Amino acid sequence: MNTAFTAQRAQVLQQKFMDTFGQAPDGIWRAPGRVNLIGEHTDYNLGFVLPFAIDKNALVAVRRKAANKTQSYQFASTYGAQDTVEITEILHENLVPGTVPGWAAYPAAVAYVLDQLPQVQLDGFELLVDSNVPVGSGLSSSHAIEVGTIVALNDLFELGLNKKEMARLTQRAENEFVGAPTGIMDQSASLMSGAEHALFLDCRTLDSQLVPLPLDEHQLVVLVIDTRVEHSNSDGGYGARRASCEQAASELGVESLRDIQDVGQLENLDPLVRRRATHIVTENQRVLHTVKALRASDMNAVGQLLNASHVSMRDDYEISCPELDLAVSIAQGAGALGARMTGGGFGGSAIALISEDKINLVSEAITDAFARAGYRSPSIFTVIADEGAGSL
């Protein structure tokens, strides 16, 4: 974490909170976005994922209101804010799924799921968000806000929730209130990650291990190429992929595709469903192999697994797009050890594992190729593996 930069942002947020709500917040909490190194769309199939939290995050300032005040929630953010910050106020009785527009749906969704817990009396609170996770880039900007909100409320209302419980609750917030049928990877990465490690997560049990990322040792960096093709997990493509996986599991008589280890078992499925399921079965295996390769510090093997993952998402799962494919192939051609799209797909970002002396070369090659293809200029930056959410 860049501590000085975060402290500076927190100071500005503290002042803005006072200007907006007239009093200081009770605290400020930080929740990171993530990249997924490998293991895509395996989470809702109860399989394996290997993401890491990044050094781009949401800062969430919160003040708990006195219990005898009207039970209402006030949300504001610095998004697009110049001098004035717009406040969204939601009364407790109006906390209804699907009714809160824009980014305020994320903290509202968290209030909604917490409020349903029998032991929780969620009095009113005021909340101000500042985030530098790019929106719509596939780096989990919405989950960063949700996780920032739940860790703040967990502390302030002394709810005693552990990380697994917070991950499951924020998944419900996203599924039931926001209406996106997403899995559990992103919030888990934001909650459970550790600096300089990837999070090896079993999405069935939420048991996890931190696997060291030997990047410095090999003078490697992870480059993110945000294609600036915006995607949303509420669009139909994500849900359609999930439905195909559920159909495959049901036809095969298993709880989830996690229970299939051999693609030979898929051969009687309808051809389209079989290709979708093939991605999931092979991707789970690639995650396990990547964990082994990282532990053996074999970064060439890691790179090859990233490349294979991209092919599988492009051809079998069909969630890539021309901009992502171009970013990946140019990065590979310019010397990346491996590259793949990351996140939900249909836009968003790709990652490339490259040696640190090739950052400019690879970035320029991708920017030039995008210009020649007539695509929007991509946003390209390196990320470091940061620690999970907590209070500042």
Does residue 40 bind ligand GAF (CB under 6 A)?
yes
- Of the two residues 26 and 325, which places its CB atom closer to ligand GAF in the complex? 325
What is the 8-class DSSP label of residue 79?
Answer: T
Does residue 146 bind ligand GAF (CB under 6 A)?
no
Interface with ligand GAF (CB under 6 A), residue total: 12
Does residue 338 bind ligand GAF (CB under 6 A)?
no
Cβ proximity of 39 and 312 under 8 Å? no
- Of the two residues 16 and 41, which places its CB atom closer to ligand GAF in the complex? 41
Q: Give me the catalytic one of 43, 55, 186, 226.
A: 186
- Of the two residues 87 and 273, which places its CB atom closer to ligand GAF in the complex? 273
Interface pick for ligand GAF out of 25, 32, 343, 347 (rule CB under 6 A): 343
CB of 244 to ligand GAF, least distance (A): 14
- Of the two residues 16 and 242, which places its CB atom closer to ligand GAF in the complex? 242
- Of the two residues 105 and 128, which places its CB atom closer to ligand GAF in the complex? 105
- Tell me the CB-side half-sphere exposure of residue 27, using CA atoms within 13 A: 15
CB of 345 to ligand GAF, least distance (A): 7
Cβ proximity of 244 and 277 under 8 Å? yes
- Of the two residues 206 and 392, which places its CB atom closer to ligand GAF in the complex? 206
Q: What are phi and psi of 193, to 5 degrees?
A: -65, 165
Burial of 68: CB neighbours in 10 Å, binned 0-12, 13-18, 19+:
exposed
Task: Return d(Cα 353, Cα 375) in angstroms, integer.
Answer: 23
CB of 183 to ligand GAF, least distance (A): 3
DSSP string, 224-238: EEE------TTSHHH
Instruction: Name the strand (E) or helix (H) holding 50.
Output: strand 48-64
Task: Return d(Cα 324, Cα 334) in angstroms, integer.
Answer: 15
Strands 197-202 and 48-64: antiparallel
Interaction pattern, residues 44-73, with ligand GAF; x per rule: CB under 6 A: x-----------------------------
CB of 149 to ligand GAF, least distance (A): 16
Strand order in the sheet with 220-226: 338-342, 349-355, 220-226, 379-383
- Tell me the CB-side half-sphere exposure of residue 237, using CA atoms within 13 A: 14
Does residue 344 bind ligand GAF (CB under 6 A)?
yes
Does residue 347 bind ligand GAF (CB under 6 A)?
no
Question: Which span sits near ligand GAF by CB under 6 A: 35-43, 111-119, 300-308, 360-368?
Answer: 35-43
Cβ proximity of 123 and 115 under 8 Å? no
Active site residue 298: no
Q: Which of residues 156-215 bind ligand GAF (CB under 6 A)?
A: 182-183, 185-186
Does residue 226 bind ligand GAF (CB under 6 A)?
no
Interface pick for ligand GAF out of 9, 16, 41, 286 (rule CB under 6 A): 41
Strands 390-391 and 27-38: antiparallel
Cβ proximity of 122 and 153 under 8 Å? yes
3-state secondary structure of 380: strand
Does residue 43 bind ligand GAF (CB under 6 A)?
yes
- Of the two residues 186 and 316, which places its CB atom closer to ligand GAF in the complex? 186
Task: Return d(Cα 349, Cα 357) in angstroms, integer.
Answer: 21
CB of 227 to ligand GAF, least distance (A): 15
Active site residues: 186
Which chain residues interact with ligand GAF by CB under 6 A?
36, 40-41, 43-44, 182-183, 185-186, 233, 343-344
